[in-house]
Structures are given as structure tokens and as C-alpha cells.
Homo-oligomer: A and B are copies of this chain.
Amino acid sequence: MQTSVKKRVVGVDIGTIRTTLAIVDVRGNVIAHQQFATADYPEIGGYIDKLTEAIIELSEANGGYDTIRSVGISAPSGVFLSGCIENSPNLPWKGVIPLAAMLRDRLGVAVALGNDAHNTALGEKMYGAAHGMKNFIVLNLGVGLGSCFFSEGHEHQGAFGYAGEFGHTCFEENGRPCPCGLRGCLETYVASAGIAQTARELLAESTAPSKMRGVEHLDSKMITQFCDEGDELAIEVYRRTGQIFGRALATYATLVNPEAIIVTGGVSQAGEWLLKPTRESFEKHIFRNMVGKVRIMLSDLHNAERDVLGASALAWEVPEYSLFK
């Protein structure tokens, strides 16, 4: 019988390109990490072999495998309740993959699996800006716009586990087309491709000089760079984006009444260029009782660690599994 408490977990972030794994202690320190190419393993059997081996090797080299309590996995189309990756359009393995159960059988420790946006929120609650909060929203603003909110201290999953699809709420009737098939989805305005489109529209509308003119693959990172250099049109791109984002966030907050909204993801690196106009628009549109009471803030977790920290946070959500001990 095992009598001591194990204080380390493994967080695994499965991305389309890379799989990252890390050993994390109970305070959120990343003790060691490692990466391998997801696409090198087109068969799920081979992928599980590789992942099992990587977890055992990394932990044996860093304090021993028997210090590991459990494993948490973030995956696109990951569903916590089933422990499966369900019909991911972006990963190499098709259909429903019972990854949590398969990995648990190999490793002999508890394994939990969930989707990225929800695990990001768990990570912010356990180690980041949302520590100690009970009602908050975490946004992942990058290529798309995912989100998750907590209700009285627990993650809100919704009836089928689909809650938080903020990027696919309708911002404008018959607006910009979205890859999801609808028109006017919020993410076609405020996520990366939408910001680039707004920039192109602004350049066409205006004759003002701008460093954005003639740039072939304009992206939100470049636009932020131009803002830092004082480019007025680039600043206007984020001003327009923030007006839309703030109004949509006000709707979200009027329904959910969070104490804070934490913005993560690639586009959040625009920082105050985006957040300042977002807050102004938010305060103009929020339910009057909440004016001045909801903080809109950036994550304070390190970008490179956020994803594995979220996955490791999920590892604590399952009981320690001592059947094999």
C-alpha cells in the first residue's frame, strides 16, 4: 500500500504540429519538458507508444516515474466526460479515440483528457491570474476565439460539453463568412484573420500613409509592431477591433457576471493596443450594475508554459489511481 502523497503530475499538450509534455509540481513549477512532432505518428497505436515512452523517460530522468500522481492531456476536440478525442478535423487520427483509457492502461496512473480552452481556464485558476476566483471567463484569442467560464468555482461545461464557443456567436447578421458555415461570427472580426481583414479594409478606405501598405501577409503580430512604432492606421485597426470585442464581451459578462475576464492566446500579445479600446467599449455596453467592476486582464503565465500548465491542472481533477500499486 502506498502511503505517501505524490506531488507531481505530467501535463501533455497535443497540438496539430507538436506534442509537448512537462513534469509539473503541485505549485506549478515546470521541472522538465520535452517535445516531439505529432505528425510523425499517423497511427494512434504508434503515437501512444511514443507518448508512453516519452512520459516514462522524462520522469525517470527527473526524480523517478513513481513520483508521478497522474497525467492531464489537452487536445483539440478532447472531451473530458468521455476521455476521448472526438472526430478532430485537425489531428491525424480519425473517429473517436479513447486516448485517456488507452494511456492509463499503459501507464498505470490516472489519466484525464480535456479540450484546450477549458484546460487553459483550469490552468489560470490553479496557477495563474484566476487563482482564488470563483466566477471568471478565460478567453483564448488567436487563430480562433475559444473560451471557458467558471461558475461558483467549477468549470462550466454545458449539457454536451460545448459551452464557451464565444467565437461563433453572431456579431453581425449576414456579416463576414466564417469557416464554420455561418456568417458574422465574432471570431471573423476579432481573431487573427479578422484583424488582418479589418486592416485591409481600413487601408482601402483611407489614403493615409501606413507601414501596413504593401505588406503581403499582414498579421496581428506585425500590426502590433507597427502600433509600437506609432503607425496611426495600425492603431486604428485595434481600435475598431476593440470596439467590437468590448461590446461582445459586455454581452458575455452581462449573462455570466464574472469578476474578471482573462485574455490569453497569440492575439493577446497586442496588449493595451487591443485591451484599452476593448475596455472602453465594454464599460459603455455592460449592464449598469456591473460598470467598473469587471477586470479585463492578460494572463500572467509564461506563453511557452501556459498550455502544459493547463494540461497539468487537469491532472489534479481526477482521483489518484492506485489500482496497480
Binding site for B on A (CB under 8 A): 134-136, 147, 149, 151-152, 154, 156-166, 168-170, 173, 180-182, 247, 250-252, 254-259, 285, 287-290, 293-294
Contacts and interface: CB of A to CB of B under 8 A. Distances in A.
Contacts of A159: 134-136, 257-259, 293-294
A250 B158 CA distance: 14
Nearest to A290: B162
A255 B169 contact: yes
A107 B178 CA distance: 59
A182 B170 CA distance: 20
A173 B308 CA distance: 40
Given A170-B250, A182-B288, A157 B152 contact: yes
A6 to B, nearest CB: 28
18 contacts: A135-B157, A135-B159, A151-B151, A151-B152, A151-B154, A152-B154, A152-B156, A159-B293, A159-B294, A160-B259, A162-B257, A166-B254, A168-B254, A168-B287, A169-B255, A169-B287, A182-B288, A255-B255
B247 A165 contact: no
A156 B160 contact: no
Nearest to A293: B160
B255 A166 contact: yes
Nearest to A134: B159
Copies of this protein in the assembly total 2
Given A168-B287, A180-B288, A156 B250 contact: no
A158 B256 contact: yes
A181 B288 contact: yes
A151 B156 CA distance: 6
B165 A255 contact: yes
Given A135-B157, A169-B255, 14 more contacts: A135-B158, A156-B156, A158-B258, A159-B259, A160-B257, A163-B257, A164-B255, A165-B257, A165-B289, A170-B250, A170-B251, A182-B285, A251-B251, A252-B255
Given A135-B158, A289-B160, A165 B254 contact: yes
B289 A247 contact: no
Contacts of A293: 159-160
Contacts of A180: 287-288
A69 to B, nearest CB: 25
A278 to B, nearest CB: 15
A157 B168 CA distance: 24
Nearest to A180: B288
Contacts of A157: 135, 152, 257
Contacts of A288: 168, 180-182
A279 to B, nearest CB: 16
A170 B255 contact: no
Contacts of A250: 169-170
Given A151-B151, A166-B255, A256-B255, A160 B247 contact: no
A309 B170 CA distance: 36
A125 to B, nearest CB: 14
A115 to B, nearest CB: 12
Contacts of A173: 247
